[in-house]
Each structure stands twice: as C-alpha cells, then as structure tokens.
Amino acid sequence: MCIVEPATALRANAQGGGNGTLEGVVKDASGPLLGATVIVKNTTRGTTTDMDGKFFLDGLQNGDVLQVTYVGYDPYEVAYAGQTALEILMQETANQLNAVVVTAMGIERQSKTLTYAAETVGGDDVADIKSINMINSLQGKSAGLQITPNSTGAGGSSKILFRGNKSISGSNQPLVVVDGVPLMMNTSFGEDGLASQVKSNYGGDRDGGDAMSTINPDDIASISLLKGASAAALYGAVAANGAIMITTKSASAGRISVSVSSNTTIDTPISLPDFQNTYGSADQTYSWGGKLSSKAPNYAKEFYQTGWTTNNSVSINGGSENLRAYFSYGNVSSGGITPENDYSQHTLNSKVGFDLFNDHVKVDFTAKYVNQHVANQPAAGWLFNPMTGAYLFPRGEDWNYYKNNYEVYDPTLNANVHNWVNTSLEQFDNPYWILNRQKPISERNRYEFGGQIKYQIIDGLSVTGRMRYERSDDNFKHNLYASSTANRYPMGRMKDNRYFSEQLYADALVQYNHTWGDFSLNATAGASMMRTQSSNVDLWAEGTKFSMTDGKPNGNVMYPNIFNPANYYANMAKQGLTRKRLNAVFATATFGYKDGLFLDVTARNDWSSTLAFTDSYSFFYPSVGASLLLDRFVDMGSNIDLFKFRASYSIVGNDVPAYMTNPLYTLGSQGAITPPEKAPFRTLEPEKTHSFEAGFDGEFFQHRLHVNATYYKTNTKNQFFAITTPWGTGYRQQYVNAGNVQNQGFELSLGWFQDFGNEFTWSTDLNLSYNDNKIIELVDGLQDGLSLSNFGGAQVVLKEGGHFGDLYVRHVMHDEKTGKMLVTDVKDDKGNVLYSVPTLSGEGITDLKYVGDMNSKVNMGWNNTFRYKDFSLSFLIDFRFGGKVLSMTEAGLDAWGVSQRTADARDKGYVVREGVRFDNVEEYYKAMGALNYNAQYNNEDYVYDATNVRMREISFGYTFRDLFGQSKNLTLSLIARNLFFFYKDAPMDPDVSMGTANGVQGFDIFNLPTTRSFGLNVKLNF
C-alpha cells in the first residue's frame, strides 16, 4: 500500500499557473526506494527516484495526477495542487494484491487484474541470505515452488518445479526470464555433452551448473513467480512449466550513488552417517575384523573441513534525466567442505539508458560478463568420488599416513602411482589421490549483450523492440594420472572437452491501453524469434605404453601423465552440434469493467524447427481467464478490503528435442559412420498441457490479513516415448506420441501484519501446497511400465494409475502361500551349510516391489519477521511431508562393516529378521548391503521417509541510519541457513538430488552432505 503521510508529507507552498515544480521522496519502512517510477497520468512525462528516493518534476499544472509505482508495492495516485514537496511512504506488507507484478513478456500489471496465480518476492529475499545459486534462496518461500539443489556444492545446478512433474521425456523446469527476455539455460553439460549430469551408480559425471548461478543476487530488484501455464502462456512452447520472471535493477536519474554488499559464511556438514569405531579390519579393506583396543577416529570428520564462502558486490548508479547508467561488479569465492574444492565467480554488469525526442523514445543497452572457475566439484556415485574412501576406510588403519602419502614412486614407470590400503578396487580409492591426481576443472566464460528501444507514439500507445545475444564457452578437463581406478589407466587418461552455447532472442511489441468511463483495455501484440545453438568438441586419450614391434605399433601412450595430444599415438575425439529455432506471433488483451471485473485472452502461434519433416511445424495455443473483485460491486464493510475470485484455462505446448523427426548419422573415430538407432518420427506433435485453475484472493482488517488460495489441474498429453521396434525395420526404437500425466492440487498462502506501535511490527506468512500426480495413460507396448531411471535394483517406474516418481526396488522374497521369508543356505563343497542369508528378488521391473512415491505431496513454509526500530529478526521454517528417498551410501556402509548397525549386531552376535536368526553377521550384511556399484543388494532396507522439518533461515540485523550522512546507511546482519532439523527420518538430508534430469531426485549414492551455514551480511549505501 502507498500512503501519503499527513502534515510533513505536503509542505504546501501553493503555486499558480502551469509551471509548477515538485520535489519529493519515495520510501518504505526501511528507507528510501531507488528506482520507483513517478509519472504524470495520461502523459509520457515522468522520472524515477534516485538512491535517496528523491525525484523532481517541473511543468506541473494544478489537477495533474501523479502516479507512483514500484514492483512489489501498491501503486498510488495523488493530485498536484501546487505543493512544492511530497513524501510518500510505501508499505510492502499491506495490500499486496494491488501490487505491481511483472508478467509474461515483462509486462507490468496490477495483481488485482490477474486471472491466475502469481507471486512477487523482493530482491532482498535472495540478497539478504545468499546462496551461490541465487534460486536456492527461495526454498520454502512460495506455495507450489519446489527447489532441490544438486549434491555437487558450489556451482551446482538446482531442480526447479512448479506444481509437480508433467513431462516424461521432456523438461519439467520452468522458463527463466530476465527483464522480459528468456535466459539461455542450455549451459549445463555432462561428460557426454548433455545436461543429464548423473546416469548410473558409477558416478563421475559432471554438473556444469545452470544459468541461475550466473546472476548476481544484488542486481535483482524483484522476482515474479508465474506458477501455471496460463500465467506464462505468452512464451509458448518454452514455458509450459511456468516462468520465473527476474527484474534487475535499472539505471536511475539522480546523483551518483554507491551500494556495497559483503556476505561471508562458514559451512559445516549438517548430517553425516552414523559410523562404528570399535571393530577393525582383518584384510586392510573391509572392517569385519576383531575389536580394537581403542576407538578409531571418525574418518569422515577427519576428511571434511570447514568450508567458507564470500559474496561481495558493489554497484554505481546515477545520471541525468536523459542519460543514466548502472554498473555493478560481483565476486564469489568459496572453499568447499572437501579439501582442494574451490569455486570463484566474477560478474560484471552494465546498463545505460537515455531518452530522446522529449522522452518519447527510451533506449536501454545492457552488457554482462561472467567468469566461473570450479575445481574438484563433488559428484555422486562410486567412481571418482573421494567420499567412498573417506567413508569406507578400514577402521583402525593409519589414516594420516595415507593422507600424507597418497602416492609413491614406481621406478618401473618412472612416475608416482596411487598409494592406498587396497589399490585393486575401482570403487575404493585414496581420497587424496582423487583430489590431487584426478582433479576435474571447469572454466566458463559467459557473455550477454542486449538492447531495448521503446517509442511512445501517443498517450497509451507504444512500440517496443528488444534483442539479446548470449554466449557461453566452457572448458572441462578431467585428467587421470597413471594407475588411477585400479590401474584401469596404467599410463593415465587425458580428457579435454569444450562446450559452446549461444542464443539470439528478439521480439517486437505493440502495447495499447485506454480507459473509457467504466471500461478499460490493455492489449499487447507482437512477434518473437529465438535461435539456440550448442556444440561440443571432446578429446579423449588413454592406453598402455607405446612401443614398436616388428614395425607395428603397440600401445598408445608415449609417457605417463603428460596430458597433451602429442603424447598419444591415437586420440579419440567427437563433435556434437544442435541447432534450434522458434518463431512466434502472440497477442493478449485484458478488458476491465469498473476496475472490478477483468477478462483476459491470449493467443500464440509457434513455428519450431524441431518439427521439421513433419506435416506441420506450426502449433497454436490459446488461454482465457476472468477475475471478479466482488468488493467493488458489493459493500462488504470496513473489514473486507479485497474479495476476489479468479479462474483461467489454457493450452500450452512443450517444445521437443531437436533431430527427433530426422535422426542424424554419427561420424566416429577413423571415419566410422554409425546410422541412427531410432526411426524418424515424421508424425511428431509437441506435448500439450491443458491447464485449469481457479482461486480466491482476499484482504481483511485494513490489509492486515491476506489470503491466497488456488486450485489447479493440469493434463499433459501427447507425451513422446521411445518404444522397441521389430528388428526388420532396421531400427531399435521408434518414437510415439501418447500418454497423459495429470497434476492437481491446491496452494494456500496466509499472511498477517501487526503494528504494535512504538515502531514494533510483526509479519507472519504461511504457504502450503498439495500436489497429487497421476499417470492417466501411457502407451501400448509398455504393459510393465516405463523405467524413468535405473540405479541397480532401484527404479523409478511409471505405470498407468501410478505416480511420476513411483519407486520399485529389489526386496527379500517371501513364500506366496505362507508369506514367510525365504532363506538361502550357502554351503561348502561337501554340502555343509556355512551360513544362511535372506533370498533376494531379481531386478527386472516385474521382480521389483513398489515402496512408494518419491515425491512429497505436501510442502509448507512459515516465515516470520519482527522489526523494532532499526532492529530486525526473521526466521523461516521449511516443512516437507511424505515422499521416499533411497540411500546406497547406507547400503555400502553396512556391507563394508563401517556402520554403527553392524557394530551393534556384532556386539549382540546375531541379526534377527522376521523372527529368523542369522548368526553370521558379516555375511548377512554383505548380502543385504552393497559392496560395489553393481552389487545385488536389498534396496528395500535402505528406503526412508522423506518427511522433514528444518530451520531453513535465520537473520538478525541492525541498520545504522544516516551513519555517513543523510540516507547513507550501514546494515549488519547475522545470518544462518539450514541450521538444524526439528524432525527427519532419513539418515541424510532428504532433499537430496544427484542431478536435474527426470527421476534422479531422492537418491543418495555417496552424495556430498548438505551444509549448515553461519555468517555475516554487510550492506552499505552512500
């Protein structure tokens, strides 16, 4: 809500005539607001506030109406009556539903006119308690938004979902839009050049990060969350999963102002396995030996170190009314909790704007450069992962010796080689050898250049043209020294991969708005073009020592550990190239009546290159919505401020991958040409999401209480599948369009603002979401279901009537008639029973047992903020109810004898399961647990409930106002994140993810543990 303070607000020295001048200031409870827009209604004359929240207007006439707007606040109008000064106080916590919301195509609208659910969060929500990937700062802050970071530390990607998983084979990530233009997201490559990141238990894959981590949180002014397809329909095929609209800070007129922000935190693991430290090793590998004379150390704690992160930024803003500029520099440095893991990022951002022809033409240019470096980024899985050695190290052995002597000299090879308790196991390496001699290093340079020209033809009619070019150049090196991975690479391995991504986006918009008495119209029409291209060049070389025998070459490597193409007799190289183009025309119109009844219609038509070679590469989608502010037509009393109903329906497509309609041949090493394995899909149609939502928005008791409730239902049809084809076709698989994935649920947001007087306020906000996912239809030929991901005896399987995320696992067998557990006797050569273990099932889909849906149906967040004078205290509690997670880490700890469970069983001398006693504890846990990446273990024992409640964030701060002069403030805040769990069942953090691909969330295979962070945030404005 925007109010004009009495007495001091209007210092009226009346002026006559038509040349009045006005000096004013716009601020909120925390101080001046930079970048608020002040315009003379129904004209093109206006300005923006400077760093001190000040503005100046001249040429005013009595009766002119001034409009003041700021994203996330209620717009306000005040008539000019000759006053010379004006002070406006904007209260963010009140009347939020009348706030300005940035919608699709960057169009600003009052939230009361929206026919769909949308939510705006301020830049402070991601800047006060920072994450290296800024999107992670929104965890628990919005109903229906789920964010799961990868277990890869600094620079890692995050899985983002609005209202559940919809697409089986396509992307479920929302579109990310910065200043109205879609952000290039195809920058995260695995080692195969794809964004899959993790594919199996083996591990060793790369998380190349996502574009969200390249955004400096201090550059963000606001974020609008468009949760449904209706809200993002104008973006068409790239926004079927909703959109995240990021508005960055802009150049403002006024004196030169400087903002400095520094955020420093230290990080420690929040949840480690429960290790045993009383039983040693009999073979220097597994910890199945006798009792130790003294307790062994916790080797995981010996391995992990205290991590740290610094996030600093400085921005300069200012200029004249006709020429203004904004420059910022951000720097992130991080040392992970694993040794030798470091991350750094440098971000340079600039914006320059100027006005022409008496402010009828506004021109803005932007440029941005980001450099990222990450070394030894953790990755889940058994191979190339230092966590396996740290967790499985045999109890009682000399950890410090192997830490300081991870390599020894081999005179035969004339090089240092791997030194460890056992160097013959691929899944079990010295962690310090991995960190120093198998170090993955990533370098990224990202460039962005853009511009916008807006021509205000007449009042209410404008034309805008925008263009942005983005490019990302990545270099990923993962060289392995000689003897690595159980001597699989006796002379070492060279890997040097280069990835290139670019995107060109351009659009043109015509916007018109006008009011005729009780009726209003806001309309936008336009066209857009988006061209993306990704390419990669991968160089790989390995082998044995090169020699010549009888004039014929043997081996491939001249010298060990020289990672240069010239050191190899032959190299394996491959190239990849993907190009896509999407053209579109679109239009939207909002019709209003008495500022209380609104009708929305949108239409978009896409032409996609991915549908080339089909009958039609054009597809059309419409949407329609309506909202009714009942309080505008019915007197509901003074305690009801807003009583709004809304509903919308849309059909939105989801773009498909390139080259499905005409698969390409591949050129391999030495000229080998490989034909495609999948048949051309000449009848391909894009996925289509049919979305309906209805909701209620209310504000009560002088805007103290606000309520937002939404019911939604989406059906994503025309899914694309690959199914097996007869061999006679010449192909192994063919694509088909089929399937129907349904999501329905509700979202609820409740908020209360209480002013206790004496400068003491309290605001509390609760968000709750429920999502029920169901597979309505798959495709003929998949009677046993579709395996979405397979982690060895644990598969996410989709079946009709099931859920997107149903987990099926290997399990202990039972007699079909009696229900008793089946037992396998292990005998010696003479037939004598040595020991017995439970009998395990197979791992085919039909052999596995359903144990639950990995996705939680209910998520909730509760945020509280207390302010007393210049003190502030806020905390966020995050709730997740339901879902399943699986830990192969725990299975490995059991099989290797390092878990506390195995020590307890040895102390007792036996294990009892379902009334059956097993006396050989070692063999029992080796059968039930996992000795390696392809072990046949009892997955069912390692499935846990994902329910958890945690203290997500705490912040306590104080602002020293006018410390260095007027409006020159210093704010100091103590901050903490992931502080502790109030409740959890799983031995690790249940919000775990190995990657952002479909079906890999909720699996723990020696994943990096989640960290708790403590630190200090400093902000200075002058």
Q: pLDDT by residue (tens digit) across 460-471?
A: 899 999 999 999
Could you give the angle at the alpha carbon of 316 between the alpha carbons of 313 and 319, nearest 5°? 165
Distance CA 442, CA 416 (A): 25
Task: Annotate 856-884 with DSSP letters as a single string.
Answer: -SEEEEEEEEEEETTEEEEEEEEEEE--E
Average pLDDT over residues 941-969: 88
Indicate whether 95 pLDDT > 60: no
Higher pLDDT: 695 or 33? It is 695
What stretches of 128-206 show up as alpha helix (H) in DSSP? none
Distance CA 366, CA 327 (A): 10
Query: What pLDDT shows up at residue 99?
Result: 66
Indicate whether 67 pLDDT > 60: yes
Secondary structure (H, E, C), 497-559 = EEEEEEEEEEEEEEEEEEEECCEEEEEEEEEEEEEEEEEEEEEEECCCECEEECCEEECCECC
List the one residue out of 310, 307, 277, 272 whose CA is nearest residue 294.
Answer: 277
Query: What pLDDT shows up at residue 17?
Result: 42
Q: Which amino acid is at 333?
A: S
Distance CA 343, CA 442 (A): 10
Distance CA 386, CA 378 (A): 8
At 1001, give phi and psi (nearest 5°).
-85, 145
| 243-248 vs 175-178, strand pairing mode | parallel
Average pLDDT over residues 414-437: 95
Share the mean pLDDT of the chain: 87
The DSSP output letter for 170 is S
pLDDT tens-place string over residues 504-529:
999 999 999 999 989 999 999 999 99
Does residue 249 sit in helix, strand or coil? coil
Cα of 790 vs its chain's centroid, Å: 23
| 640-654 vs 618-629, strand pairing mode | antiparallel
At 892, give phi and psi (nearest 5°).
-65, -40
Write the CB contacts of 476 (distance below 8 Å, at least 6 apart in sequence): 189, 191, 206, 208, 440, 441, 442, 443, 495, 496, 497, 498, 499
List the one residue out of 18, 997, 96, 104 whose CA is nearest residue 524.
Answer: 104
Average pLDDT over residues 853-870: 93
Which token pair is 23? 């000096």
Does residue 82 sit in helix, strand or coil? coil
Out of 427-431, 473-477, 736-740, 878-882, pick the least confident. Answer: 736-740
Q: What are the Cα distances from residue 51, in Å, to 68, 77, 476, 973?
A: 16, 22, 42, 21
Out of 278-292, 338-352, 642-656, pick the least confident. Answer: 642-656
Write the CB contacts of 166 (distance below 8 Å, at least 6 apart in sequence): 172, 240, 241, 654, 689, 714, 716, 741, 743, 804
Which token pair is 40? 């003379």
Q: How many CA atoms lie within 13 A of 786 on its CB side?
A: 27
Query: What pLDDT shows up at residue 669?
Result: 66
Indicate whether 15 pLDDT > 50: no
Which token pair is 297? 């150390």
Out of 219-233, 293-307, 328-342, 858-872, pick the least confident. Answer: 219-233
Distance CA 307, CA 303 (A): 12
Indicate whether 8 pLDDT > 50: no
Indicate whether 333 pLDDT > 70: yes
Average pLDDT over residues 438-442: 93
13 confidence band (pLDDT: 50, 70, 90): very low
Q: What are the Cα distances from residue 946, in Å, to 116, 798, 908?
A: 31, 20, 30
Write the CB contacts of 173 (distance below 8 Å, at least 6 apart in sequence): 159, 160, 161, 185, 241, 996
The predicted model scores a pTM of: 0.88
Out of 239-253, 366-380, 559-573, 837-851, pick the least confident. Answer: 239-253
What stretches of 441-494 show up as alpha helix (H) in DSSP? 484-487
Write the CB contacts of 140 (distance below 8 Å, at least 6 apart in sequence): 767, 859, 861, 863, 876, 877, 878, 879, 952, 953
Indicate whether 93 pLDDT > 70: no
> What residue ranges define each of the domains in the chain, with the CATH number in brackets?
20-89 (2.60.40.1120), 100-780+855-883+949-1021 (2.40.170.20), 781-854+884-945 (no CATH)
Average pLDDT over residues 401-422: 95
Q: Which amino acid is at 662?
A: N
Query: What pLDDT shows up at residue 55?
Result: 85
Q: Determine the number of helices (DSSP H) and then strands (DSSP E) in the chain.
A: 9, 57
Q: Which amino acid is at 646?
A: R
Out of 102-111, 372-381, 451-460, 790-799, pick the least confident. Answer: 102-111
Indicate whether 193 pLDDT > 60: no
What stretches of 556-691 show up as alpha helix (H) in DSSP? none
pLDDT tens-place string over residues 264-279:
999 999 989 999 999 9
Length of the chain, in residues:
1022
Do residues 270 and 978 touch, judged by C-beta distance below 8 A? yes
Element at 947 (helix H, strand E): none
Q: Which amino acid is at 116?
A: Y
Radius of gyration of the chain (CA): 31
Distance CA 996, CA 149 (A): 8
Which token pair is 832? 């004598």
* Measured distance between the N- and C-terminal CA atoms of the chain, rounded to whole angstroms: 27
List the one residue out of 915, 1015, 898, 1010 whose CA is nearest residue 299.
Answer: 898
Query: What pLDDT shows up at residue 186?
Result: 65
Distance CA 74, CA 70 (A): 7
Higher pLDDT: 821 or 123? It is 821
Distance CA 72, CA 245 (A): 13
Does residue 454 sit in helix, strand or coil? strand
